[in-house]
Amino acid sequence: MKSSSIGRKLVMSISGAFLIVFLTLHLAINLTSLISREAYEAACKFMDENILIQIMVPVLALGFIVHIAMGIILTIQNRKARGVGYEVGSKTKISWASRNMLALGLIVLGLLVIHLGHFWAKMQLQHFMGNEGENPYDLVKTVFTNGWCVAMYVIWILAFTFHITHGFWSMFQSMGVINNKWLPRLKTISVIYSHVIMVGYMIIPLYFFLGFGDA
């Protein structure tokens, strides 16, 4: 049973690593929308036409599903055993993020479905079906000039920020690649990385909501 639990933690950590890479690359692409319409449309075109990226999309989607499934299983198992999160022992000081990893993950999942409806279904999916799809820059402007959409995305960004704050260092711990000396350093890096990601993603909806996008 113990080896099975360790295996699940390892699978969850590896899938989490894939998602962190995706999150970083996705942010880099989306930040081009702040440069100009032409830069963002060129970046989107590159994503659509790049074979490697097209292959990675379903792989990342599978990784996300596996990550969620393992998170639910491990949370249920550990709550039955100790009543705490999957990486925290009963004598350890538990952070708010680690206590609420499952809830944060479910918020991220729920809003991700809405996000896919806003963008992926109207662009990449349309291209896959042989249709032209909507203009990416105009679509971003349309979504982020809606106050309710912006508020929803801010909540989403905050949720995955807290999720990553715990998940980033916990990923390395589950893989067994850090010791007690490196653990505090990884926790600090986790906070820095998650907040850089938060600011980067939050700038985009606020930028368009405040009317700075191209006419």
- Say what the pLDDT of residue 204 is: 95
Domain that holds residue 150: 2-209
Residues of the chain with pLDDT under 70: 1-6, 8, 78-79, 81-98, 174-179, 215
- Tokens for 27? 């942010």
Q: What is the CATH number of the domain that holds 110?
A: 1.20.1300.10
- Say what the pLDDT of residue 5 is: 62
Q: Give the three-class secondary structure for 210.
A: coil
- Say what the pLDDT of residue 82 is: 59
Structural domain total, the chain: 1
Question: What DSSP letter does each residue of 75-89 carry, written as one string?
Answer: HHHHHHHTSS-TT--
Residue 107 near residue 156 (C-beta atoms within 8 A): yes
**pLDDT tens track for 9-68:** 777 777 778 788 888 888 999 999 999 999 999 998 888 887 887 777 777 777 777 777
Residues 6+ apart with CB under 8 A from 47: 29, 53, 124
In a domain, 59, yes or no: yes
Tokens 């449309």 belong to 41
φ, ψ at 153 (rounded to 5°): -70, -35
In a domain, 46, yes or no: yes
In a domain, 215, yes or no: no
In a domain, 41, yes or no: yes
- Say what the pLDDT of residue 30 is: 94
- Say what the pLDDT of residue 98 is: 66
- In angstroms, rounded to a whole number, what is the distance separating the alpha carbons of residues 154 and 156? 5
In a domain, 53, yes or no: yes
Q: Give the three-class secondary structure for 211.
A: coil
In a domain, 179, yes or no: yes
- Tokens for 89? 């022992």
In a domain, 214, yes or no: no
CA dist list (Å): 140 to 73, 95, 144, 146, 203: 36, 35, 6, 10, 13
- Say what the pLDDT of residue 88 is: 45
- Say what the pLDDT of residue 77 is: 74
The pTM is what? 0.79
